[in-house]
Amino acid sequence: MEATAVSLARSVLDGVLSNAGSAVADEVARLIGVPKEVDFIRNELEMMQAFLKVSSTNPVPSDTVRTWVKQVRDLAYDVEDCLLDFALYAARTSSSRATGSWWLTPGAIAARHRIAARIRDLKASVEELNQRNLRYHVVVGSPAVAPRAADEQPAVLPDGGQDASSAAELAFQSSLVRMVHNDPDLLDEFDYDVWVTVPHPLDNPEVFRRRLRKELGLARDRSVAEYLHEKRYLVVVDDLHSQEEWENICQVFPHQLFKNRKGSRIIVTTRREDVARHCAAHVAGWDGHVYELKPLGDDESLDLFCQKVKATHVYKKTDYVCPPYMMDQAKRILERCHGLPLAISTIGGLLANRPKTGIEWENLHQHLGAELGSDLRNITKVIVSSYDGLPYDLKSIFLYLSIFPENHEIRRTRLLRRWMAEGYIAKNRDMPVENVAERVYSELINRSMIQPSKASLGVRADRCRVHSILLKIILDKFIEENQLFLIEKQSGEVPQSKIRHLVVSRWKKKYEKLQNINPSYIRSLTIFGECPASLISQKMRLLRVLDLEDTSNLKNSDLKHIGKLQHLRYLCLRGTDISKLPSSLQNLRYLETLDIQDTQVRELPGGVAKLEKLRYLLSGVSFTKDLLQKMGESGKVNYKTRLFGNIGACLCCNSSECCKVYNVDQFSVRAPDGIEKLKNLHMLGLVNVGKGNGVAARLKNLTNLTNLRRLGITGLSEKEGMELCKSIGELRRLQRLEVRSYSLKFLIKTDGESSTQPRMPRHLVSLRLCGDLSNMPRWISSLNDLTKVKLLGTQLKQGDIEQLQNLCNLALLGLWEHSYMDTSLHFCSGTFPKLKFLDIDGIKEIETVTILDGAMPELEQLWVNKCPSLCDDSPGLSGVPYVLKLNELVLKNCGEKEKLIKILQAQVNGHIRRPKFLIGKSILRTTSTQDTSQQ
């Protein structure tokens, strides 16, 4: 625990000293007459930081030291809070002194006295802390040589040690079931197959019902029981914790479903034998069985170990083989793991970032000797060792993950932006803070501390999760340090200490704990599920992160105090029913992230242009495969006449009358006046810049956004499109571009060689186009940095796709609904050299997909979905044996394709990599299809 306390304290001190050493702090201190006090505090904090640096390397298991370290951290928080108020005061002062409007007013004088008094109180607190240090002899000798207590108790799970080994096996158990679930011969016997991971705590059936309905692609008003009544289905229920959870799930599967006699099956994974036997007994009419997972064998253990050891940058590009001279050490280490996959993965991840030497591995083996022995329950000690081996700055960052519930898939960008808002990511003079955060994220994955969950269509781990054992360990540490408080079913009494992070999960109106919480010290508020009424209070004056993503029952009135939260840096309302933002939003001078994507907000307050520190402005409906479908579901008018003016209409008719603009703002946000002044913006989109929407006449001024990395834009006429191209051609840092319009043909007109002709940015890495393009512009073949291309409604043909075939870095190609109009699609030898993922979805006209020998040599995933015209014979999808690196082949929702499936199954069986082959015979109705592969 002391290592955790030290790492948390050091992280806070790093941020405090950075702020305390700034010119702003010095200027404020001089103005209010306390420069000596500020210097004293700064010097004392530097000495504390030096002490903690030594302690973090060789922690002393002393209760006295741990208590003192906590007090140092709390004092550092108080100093940081004061400095934040200073910065607000200084910002207001600098703008008002020039005009004389506020500097000499009674309010300004009172503010100066109040801040000066706080500084003097902090100085007294620092002196008192130092006296306490001397009084109780906290530092006795050098902590670097202090011995480790022999009787120190190992960390155990709160559930008790008996569950630890079975929990360690759960991930491997789930993997085994996943292999069975992906077997095409098995799936061919069922009408529907779904995989549902149980959210925890599962205290009512509705939560599970919503997840099951989503996986089945059912609309909200459809009954799961009625839908499955006459179906032969396979449902996997993953990670069940208790018999009570199973009783809730059973309510979703009424008695008649268990007795439908269609040969349906429910597979449950659980770490508890009593739960497994309870489930099996419950479905005795189905001859329920219990399968107990066995440990890995020697060969499997060694394979998994080598796979984890190779995770460093040196080894990750090739298969790592343990050298013969290190084989003895490897086997001795694996003997300690007893075939437990989690133990092997954790130790392999621990070694992945250490020298590959016999001495290093021998030292680890000796270290594990006392910790594992023959008792499998001590697997948690190995995991704690892996955590303790993290650098101090990574400890606090990793602990932060305990905010998210078990089995929750965490979006990468959400996590990174929260880290930055909290101040966990140290600034680097040679690297943008976003790049530093990306490195931290990658390092945690390489160390096996977090698990990549859903890769971004086979290219990058855009979602992650924390293993349940790791989560329990870090959750206990974070709560023990009084950093986190959870409002949920298991919550205890509200602690008397200062709560820094508040999480509301599975809210029930009967809870009264919120009334007993002091909100004035809370740094982050995160809500999962329902939002309690009147929770967001102006008393949360130090709040930095307000994360309400996918929160239900959130109303516009719940945001009325937003403008009072002047330290807010991260505001996420994504996926909520919010339709209007308060005008007081303009007061959030520190706001860096404003995420209102997939909400009902269609217009931003005019004061948004005053948010000078804003870096990420995300709005509108996200770019997904079912974008056309969302248009159709949005109102009574058919989607063919609604899609951003009329993308759908252009796809289905030639009449010029179809080309009128309808509801152009419906799936985007009107750009407010002055948005081009936000020079710190890194991401902007999706904004509507059409006529009458604020910036149509100022498209040229987009060149002021010199830091812009990502731009999403819609509502363009041909003339406005040409203006846009001229502007973005000057944005040298632009990497991701998304354009939606009923016609994208203005992009073709940028192909001219004239010096007056607009040019597209040459360093784009991602391009998303939605609208009638008809012909691929020639300039796209020169974008050698391009890694992702997603097309929707572009109406292209074979020759247009060939414009992409020689791009040397293209890793992902998504051809979605109405993007391709030919009946055949060919990939020739030597083309698409780096493509890893090919996603063909909703192309109704396509009959054959042909891959020739030598095409797409790096392809790992090939998905063909909702292509009903595909030939039911070998020409339907040919060339799979030539794709030597293929890991996953998907053929779903293409109708009855029995011949093609048998051919592909034979090809997969004989493939060198034996890729997964996922199939599905049914075509889901377009009115109920749900897409979950995009974010």
Among residues 572, 589, 618, the one where a domain terminates is 618
Residues 6+ apart with CB under 8 A from 614: 591, 592, 593, 594, 608, 678, 680, 681
- Integer-rounded Cα radius of gyration of the chain: 29
Tell me, letter by letter, the H, E, C secondary structure of 613-682.
Answer: CCCEEECCCCCCCCHHHHHHHCCCCCHHHCCCECHHHHHHCCCHHHHCCECCCCCCEECCCCHHHCCCCC
* Per-residue confidence (pLDDT) for residue 405, from 0 to 100: 86
Between 263 and 680, residue with greater pLDDT: 680
Q: Which long-range contacts (CB under 8 A, 24 or more apart) does 672-677 make?
A: 672/603, 672/604, 672/605, 672/606, 672/608, 672/609, 673/606, 673/609, 674/606, 674/609, 675/604, 675/608, 675/609, 676/701, 676/702, 676/704, 676/705, 677/609, 677/704
Highest mean pLDDT among 156-165, 369-378, 427-436, 770-779: 770-779
Structure tokens at 360: 């290093």
105: alpha, beta or left? (left if phi > 0; alpha if psi -120 to 50)? beta
pLDDT band at 655 (very low <50, low <70, confident <90, very high): very low
pLDDT band at 472 (very low <50, low <70, confident <90, very high): confident
* Per-residue confidence (pLDDT) for residue 790, from 0 to 100: 95
Structure tokens at 343: 């133990």
State pLDDT tens for residues 772-810: 998 999 889 889 899 999 999 999 999 999 999 999 999
Give the pTM: 0.76
| Same domain? 127 vs 227 | no
C-alpha 564/C-alpha 88 separation (Å) is 12
| Same domain? 473 vs 494 | no
Structure tokens at 651: 């796809």
Between 498 and 269, residue with greater pLDDT: 269
Which strands, in side-by-side order, build the sheet including 451-452?
410-411, 463-465, 451-452
The partner residues of 570 in beta bridges, in order of sequence, read 545, 593
Q: Are 794 and 773 in contact (CB under 8 A)?
A: yes
pLDDT band at 44 (very low <50, low <70, confident <90, very high): confident
Residue 612 located in a structural domain = yes
* Per-residue confidence (pLDDT) for residue 711, from 0 to 100: 92
| Same domain? 612 vs 486 | yes
* Per-residue confidence (pLDDT) for residue 758, from 0 to 100: 54
Between 341 and 859, residue with greater pLDDT: 859
Residue 694 located in a structural domain = no
C-alpha 819/C-alpha 774 separation (Å) is 9
Among residues 578, 598, 618, the one where a domain terminates is 618
Which amino acid belongs to residue 22?
Answer: S
C-alpha 52/C-alpha 644 separation (Å) is 57
C-alpha 278/C-alpha 286 separation (Å) is 13
Q: Are 578 and 600 in contact (CB under 8 A)?
A: yes
Residue 464 located in a structural domain = yes
- Longest Cα–Cα distance in the chain: 88
Give residue for tokens 């130092």: 130
pLDDT band at 645 (very low <50, low <70, confident <90, very high): very low
**Total number of domains in the chain:** 4
Question: Which among 454, 452, 476, 489 has a CA at the least distance from the CA of 384?
Answer: 476
C-alpha 416/C-alpha 191 separation (Å) is 40
Between 269 and 759, residue with greater pLDDT: 269
List the Cα angle 898/900/901 in 5-degree steps.
65
Structure tokens at 773: 């393009």
C-alpha 555/C-alpha 572 separation (Å) is 14
pLDDT band at 94 (very low <50, low <70, confident <90, very high): low
State pLDDT tens for residues 721-774: 888 888 888 888 899 999 998 888 888 877 655 545 556 777 899 999 998 998
Residue 348: helix, strand or coil by DSSP? helix
* Per-residue confidence (pLDDT) for residue 148, from 0 to 100: 35
Q: What DSSP string runs through 431-457?
A: B-HHHHHHHHHHHHHHTTSSEE-SBST
Among residues 618, 652, 684, the one where a domain terminates is 618
Q: In 197-230, which positions are buried (b, 16+ CB within 10 angstroms) versus exposed (e)?
A: bbbbbbeebebbbebbbebbbbeeeeebeebbee
Highest mean pLDDT among 200-209, 455-464, 563-572: 563-572
Q: In 133-165, which positions are buried (b, 16+ CB within 10 angstroms) versus exposed (e)?
A: beeeebbeeebeebeeeeeeeebbbeeeeebbb
State pLDDT tens for residues 566-601: 899 999 999 999 999 999 999 998 899 999 999 999
C-alpha 591/C-alpha 589 separation (Å) is 6
Residue 698 located in a structural domain = no
Give helix 468-480 / helix 392-399 axis angle, nearest 10°. Answer: 100
Highest mean pLDDT among 46-60, 185-199, 529-543, 794-808: 794-808
* Per-residue confidence (pLDDT) for residue 496, from 0 to 100: 63
Question: Does residue 283 carry a pLDDT above 80?
Answer: no
Between 682 and 193, residue with greater pLDDT: 682
| Same domain? 433 vs 490 | no
Residues 6+ apart with CB under 8 A from 825: 798, 801, 815, 840, 846, 848, 849, 850
> On the CB side of 702, how many CA atoms lie within 13 Å of its CA?
32
* Per-residue confidence (pLDDT) for residue 928, from 0 to 100: 30
* Per-residue confidence (pLDDT) for residue 836, from 0 to 100: 94
934: number of Cβ within 10 Å: 17
| Same domain? 13 vs 126 | yes
Between 164 and 208, residue with greater pLDDT: 208
| Same domain? 110 vs 40 | yes
Q: Are 838 and 864 in contact (CB under 8 A)?
A: no
Percent of the chain with pLDDT over 70: 69
State pLDDT tens for residues 827-857: 999 999 999 999 999 999 999 999 999 999 9
State pLDDT tens for residues 132-152: 777 766 653 443 333 333 333
pLDDT band at 927 (very low <50, low <70, confident <90, very high): very low
H/E run at residue 684: strand 683-688
Residue 748 located in a structural domain = no
H/E run at residue 827: strand 824-827
| Same domain? 110 vs 55 | yes
| Same domain? 534 vs 594 | yes
* DSSP code of residue 842: S
* Per-residue confidence (pLDDT) for residue 420, from 0 to 100: 93
* Per-residue confidence (pLDDT) for residue 315, from 0 to 100: 39
Alpha helices for 447-494 (secondary structure H): 468-480
* Per-residue confidence (pLDDT) for residue 582, from 0 to 100: 94
Residue 42 located in a structural domain = yes
How confident is the model over 321-340, as a mean pLDDT? 75
| Same domain? 235 vs 261 | yes
| Same domain? 83 vs 184 | no
State pLDDT tens for residues 493-535: 666 667 888 988 876 665 556 667 788 889 999 998 888 887 8
Residue 657 located in a structural domain = no
* Per-residue confidence (pLDDT) for residue 162, from 0 to 100: 39
Picking from 340-354, 529-543, 772-786, which range would have the lowest pLDDT averaged per residue? 340-354
- The overall average pLDDT reported for the chain is 76
Taking the chain, what is the end-to-end CA distance rounded to the nearest angstrom?
Answer: 37
498: alpha, beta or left? (left if phi > 0; alpha if psi -120 to 50)? beta
* Per-residue confidence (pLDDT) for residue 42, from 0 to 100: 72
| Same domain? 466 vs 500 | no
How confident is the model over 865-877, as a mean pLDDT? 94
CATH number, domain at 486?
A: 3.80.10.10
| Same domain? 112 vs 199 | no
Residue 659 located in a structural domain = no
Peptide bond into 154 cis (omega under 30): no
pLDDT band at 639 (very low <50, low <70, confident <90, very high): very low
Q: Which domain holds residue 46?
A: 1-94+106-136
